[in-house]
Structure 1
Amino acid sequence: MKLPFLRRILSPRLNMQGKIFIAFGLAALLSIVSVTSIIYMNMRETIKDNAVTSVLDSIRQADESANIMLQEIDRLNTVVVTNKYAVIDTILSPSEEISYEWFQEQKLITGFLSGLIDYKPYITRIAVVGLNGKVFFSGGPWLDRTFLETPMMDYMLNNGSRHAYFKPQGSADAITVGREIRYDREAIGVVMVDLNYDFIKKTYGVKPTEDSLLYVLDEQNGFVYQTEPTSTGAPGQETLVKLKHQFAGQGDAAEKTIGGRSYIVVSRQSAYTGWTTLALIPTDSLLSESARIRNLMIEVSVVVFIVVLFVSLQMSSRTTIHIRRLKSMMSRVKEGNLDFPRTEIKSKDEIGELNQVFIGMVEELKSLMEDIRMSEREKREAELTALQAQIRPHFLYNSLNTIKYLAKLNGVPNIEEASGALIELMRGVLGNSNEFLTVREELDYVFSYVAIEKYKFLAPIRVETQVEDESLLECRVLKLMLQPLVENAIIHGVGPSEQGGVVLIRVYEEQEILKIEVTDNGQGMTKERMEILLGQPGTEEKPSRFSGMGVSNVHERIHRMYGDPYGVKLYSEPGLYTKAEIWFPRLPDTENNPKEVLSHVPSAAS
């Protein structure tokens, strides 16, 4: 790695290359750790499963081998207990020891027993013990009538209905298989065969690891077989008995902690003998090979991670070199240098396209800068023109004030009134830039308009107002909503009438809706004319001569601002009257703030 790059990486503010490098590194590290961990954990579980499967197979084969030998011994016992001539009659014979008849019987039964165990090296002794004290055996060790007083004799008599399997106490070289001899439904003795213990050791010598332990317990929880522990801390008989009762299946396995050490315990119970085999495999010994593989995987992962870091460094450098070039050009533009030398980026990806867009943007920026210089020049010229135009309204107001003053000096009140009304009306139209006015201000503009308009007609024009509540005069409405309707009532309503006309302006509230009615007693109008005034589709209205907007404009402005049901509604009877209703939401005085005005619109307006 280069030192400048390290300085960029370790700087408090990472650049894009550093971010890409770190992102690649973190992604690679996370991937490598995840994959390595998953492989290692799966390998551990696979080793455990394979060990359990192997031990269960070995135990099953050992049980089957032992069962074959025990079944053979059971058959021999069956032959003995069913032989009446050589066994039963000999036991029931009244002859006593040290007599000729006793020697003959001894020779007969001993020859019979010897013939049964010949060529069977896994049998060390076969014996028949009568309850009357007669003892006959073939093989070793020696056996006499004292055996009648032993617990083994009691056990075989108590379990004589089936075969009795057990390891004699104090004996380390035989497994005794016994069965009682019955005659005339009464027990008369037992037959027992001793199985060579070396065959048991060879059969159950299953050790997956050097320090594995294997125990075979009979139904009385006695040891049939046990391996010699290679280290201290082997479980005692009480612990093994508890383990035996925890497993009930034919092939169960679980991980247990015994004496502070973790073991994989495998249990299997023989269906033939009832013996339970417990195999204890130390987990650390079993997984010692996996630890070596784990260390190897860590070393490989470190090498792979270093390679990925190097590759990501190269990729991030190649990816960001064009971005750094773009950044350099943008810095020059930021400094105001638009005529910098162009760096050619030939890549066909998004960065190349970004370079083309940036170059185009710079060219467009140069063009815009030139346009701005031109517009600034034109703006200064426009400001001069606006300054000159600003003089004209002031000149008009001053001129009208002069006319009003001269009319007053010369005693011409009508000219004084008309010029004063015109001044007020023009101030409202040209001088007031507010979008919203109070109802009171709207009425003032209407009165100024009427003061001018009445001099056009010979007959007087009466404009009356009715206000239901004085507080309604302070409600806010859109500017110049009332004057076009009054103008329409005067010009098209009471104006053509030869008799004096009356225009009634009524202000009232109904269901939180501010309503302003403009009613005249003129000639009225037809339905078609009302549709034209409201600007129905297919119709066209000429604008008002004074305001430049007609009834349809008023309706459209209100409807667009507030929605339904607000706007203008017309009612008329030809030759009788015309009434125009303006529906506003009742809005308080909010000092002409449009947002505050609209926030008070009732929910009826959509």
Structure 2
Amino acid sequence: MRGRRFSRITTQFNDFFHSLPFKQRILISFVILITLAISAAGTISYLIASKEIQNNAFESSQETVNKTAQIMDTRLKNISTSIQSLMFSDAFEQMLRDVQNNDFLNYYKHLSALQFVFSQISYNEPLIQNVLIATPIGDFYSTSENRNPAQSFYDSDLYDKIKNSPKGVWYKGHADLFFSGNQRVLSFVTKGMHERVSSDPLNVFVVVNIKEREFVRLINQKSPSKDRNYVLVDAKGEDVIQDDVPNTYQFNQDALFLQQMRSGLQGSFFHEFHKADYLVNYTKLEIADDWVLIGTQSKDLLLQQVNGIKRTTLYIIVGFVLTSWLLSNYLTALLLRPLFKLQGLMRKVEDNQLSVRFESRYTDEVAQVGFQFNRMLDEINQLIGNVKFSEQEKRKAEMKALTAQMEPHFLYNTLNAIYCKSVLGENNDVNELILALSQMFQLGLSGGKDMMTLEDELSHVKQYCAIQQKCYEGLFEYELIVEDDQLLAYYVPKIVLQPLVENSILHGFKDKASEGRIRIQISEDDQMLHLLVEDNGTGVDMDKVEQGMAAGGNTKKGYALRNIRNRLQLYYGNESRMKLTNNDKNGTTVALWIPMNKGDHE
């Protein structure tokens, strides 16, 4: 009986449902499904979340504090490791030996030798403000810092702490005592030693100052919410660092709090501050024994999320039910959207945007057409990539060939100069020339690379000028001007300046016996490297030089200039420039403009 009644009701509902317009049927189905799905999901989510959030909130808070402490330990360990690598360096070892021998003579030599080590440490660990090595023969530090001569390390509190400690000591935030600026820093002090040098009587110490503001930012960047506050204190509850937001909890005056905090390496408990309950999570740092990271969070705000979930769930249910009525009008557009999307992609391909792809999580007929469209684009891109790769390989081969032409050209001229000295019996000059040539080859070969830093390129030119000054004594002097030392780090094609200097010597000074002048100037011009070589020689016939450069490989006239111009063209295309002029000193000026590049990009 009941079965027949249910069957009759079902039949009547089906008849009524199918009598409605198709749009209304979609609307009713959509609303019913959305309402049921959202209601069920929202109710289940609320029940689960309200139960689990209270259980997981405490563990999550503790885990966040532990992770933050772990990050701090890792960064502090990196700093300690950096100092160990400093003490393993040869410069540090030589400095210790001079301290051991009470030798003051090599102080400035060791100060210069340690600059690279200081720079490397600061580069590897941005938290480091500065490093000071205190020794009986003098202080060693980065010359970019301004040392405060009024404060000796051996008269400071840091020395009193480290001399009674067998290992390194971490010192809480304070104004920098040893360098000007009164920067707020934390300090790590350890005894300087080397495995090959006895450290017992040396009284050498290394002080590393850490930027307090950066350390504060490192702590706070892990704070997941505004209501959670992180504080770093010592075993007495006193602040280790000064934050922009002052610590109002006064841990050092709360005996009960300190007792609970000292109960283990990490933990959590509720404590009352300012008549309100707070969840306190703490963990002790490994590398600094008496430093404790404390996180505090309002209990009310922590558990407030449960009620927030309840309200949010209700809002979501109501919002989705209302939205479902609106979405029904766009159902047709939704069904046709894949076709519109595919049409839009085809229009982009017409504009040469070959990186577009059709994406769909479905496998219907429209999706299959889209996937075939993707395969077609992949094949087109592969063909284009093959063509580009072939062109790049051809370009690299041309650049290698031009560089190979330049290197023998220079070698022949240099060996001829050495031969002349040898014939004249000037053996000392021959030895110096061979040594300079060896150093030039070391720079010129550059591991098979076609690019080198401007600093190495200038070193190459200096060695060449030294050779030629031996070969042509009294013929010329040269001047090297670098307007900004930062330009030395940029990369240029190797052996690009030496041929220009060689032209000045061999061609510009061919009618001179003395008083030759060469000026090499490096500057920045409109975000380009500007390389200039100028002499006071005999000048050039511009028409003949241009004809020689245009003649290609059929003539030796303009060979060096033609080689450099072709190499720059291959490396940079139209971005580089070369200009040749006669100057007011009756000589020649060659100017190059090269794009600024700090990477060794071949």
Q: TM-score range with shorter-chain normalisation?
A: 0.3 to 0.5
Larger RCO (CA within 8 A; separation ≥ 6): 2
TM-score (norm 1): 0.37
Q: Which has the larger radius of gyration?
A: 1
